[in-house]
Structure 1
Amino acid sequence: MIHLVKLCVGISNVEELESYRNERSHWWGADYGEDVHVHRTRMMPKRFSEIEGVSSIYWVISGLISCRQPILRLAPYTDVEGKSYCDIIMSRDLHRTLPYPKRPFQGWRYLNPKDAPPDLGVDGNEGSEELAADLVRLGLI
C-alpha cells in the first residue's frame, strides 16, 4: 500500500475543502454514479494497484498535511482534445490528521504509510487542531 499527498491549491482550511467538496463533487463532468469526490490530475500513478481501495490522498493545506480522503479507485479520462488524465475518485469522508509540515511541490507525491500523519482523535491524538498546528510550527511535534 502507498498513499498520495497533494497540495490543496486555493483552499485555506479543512472547512473550505469540505465546502468545495459539497459544491463540486462532480465538477469535472464525469459522473461515477455515486456520492463521491473527484479530483482530476494529469498523470496516472504508476503504482495504482497499491492505491485503489486501500489508500488515501493526504491534503496539504497552508503548508500542513491537515486531512485525508480515502481513495476508492482511479479512472483514466480523455478529454475532447485527446489529452489523457487520471480521475482520483475518493470517498466524501474527510479525516482530519495531526498537522504535519510539508513544503510546496508540483503534482502529487507518494507517501509511505509509516510517514503518514495519524488521524486526530485516534490513539490519543485528541484535542485542538489549531494547537497541534501551532506546536508543529514551533517544532515541538
Structure 2
Amino acid sequence: MALHILKLCVGCESVEDLALWQQERAAELPGGLPRHVTRMWPKRADEVLDGGSIYWIIKGNVLVRQRILRLDPVEGTDGINRCALVFDPALIRTEPAPRRPFQGWRYLKPEDAPRDLPEARPGEEVLPPELAEALAEFGWR
C-alpha cells in the first residue's frame, strides 16, 4: 500500500510559485525531473515507491501533490550522502488541508491525505485559493 510524504514548501506563496520554481530548475536537473534533496533516506522507501506522493504545504495548507517516481542517492559537497526524492512534474491540486509547521518531512497515511480536486470542466472556473482555504477551515469538502 502506498505511503505519502508531507513537506513544507518553504519560500513558495502559491502552487503557481512551486510550478515556476520547478520549471526554472528543470534544465539543471538529471532528466529534467523535479526533485527535493533531504538528509534522511525514508526507512519506509518501499511503501513510498508503491504509488506514494509528496504533499506540499504552502502557507499553512496542503494544496498540491506530486507523485514520487524514485529515490536517488546524492552526495553533497560536504561528502555526506543524502536522498533525492524525484517527482513526476505534474502538480495535482488537492483540497486545502490546514497543517502546522514542522521540520523536515513526515509520513502521511493514504486515509489522512486530502482528496484531489477535480479538474475544471471547460467554462468552469476554479475557486480562488483564498476561498477554497476558508471553506476547508469550516470542513467543507
Which interval holds the TM-score relative to the shorter structure?
Answer: 0.7 to 0.9
Among the aligned pairs, what percent are the same residue?
44
Q: Structure 1, residues 7-64: CA drift from partner, whole Å, max 9, x if none? A: 000001000001001001365xx52xx2311111111010001112511000000000
- Per the alignment, residue 15 of structure 2 pairs with 14
Runs (5+) with no aligned partner, structure 2 = 120-124
Query: Which aligned segments of 4 or more residues in structure 1 are displaced greater than 6 angstroms?
Result: none
**Residues 95 and 136 in structure 2, CA contact (< 8 A), matched pair in contact too:** no
1:109 pairs with 2:109: no
**How many Å separate the matches in 1 of 2:77 and 2:96?**
39
In the superposition, the TM-score normalised over structure 2's length comes to: 0.87
**Partner of 1:60 in structure 2?**
57
Aligned residues: 133
1:82 aligns with 2:109: no
Residue 88 of structure 2 aligns with an amino acid whose one-letter code is S
SS of equivalent to 1:25: helix
1:84/1:53 CA distance change after superposition, 3 Å: same
Query: Residue 24 of structure 1 aligns to a residue in which SS?
Result: helix
Residues 84 and 18 (structure 1 numbering): CA distance in 2 closer, same or farther, change over 3 Å? same
Kindly indicate whether residue 2 of structure 2 is the aligned counterpart of residue 5 of structure 1.
no
CA RMSD of aligned residues (A): 1.8
Higher helix share: 2
Change (3 A) 1:18 1:135: same
**Which runs of no fewer than 5 residues in structure 1 stay unpaired?**
none
Contact 1:99 1:132 in 2 (8 A): yes
Write the distance in 2 (CA, Å) between the matches of 1:114 and 1:38.
25
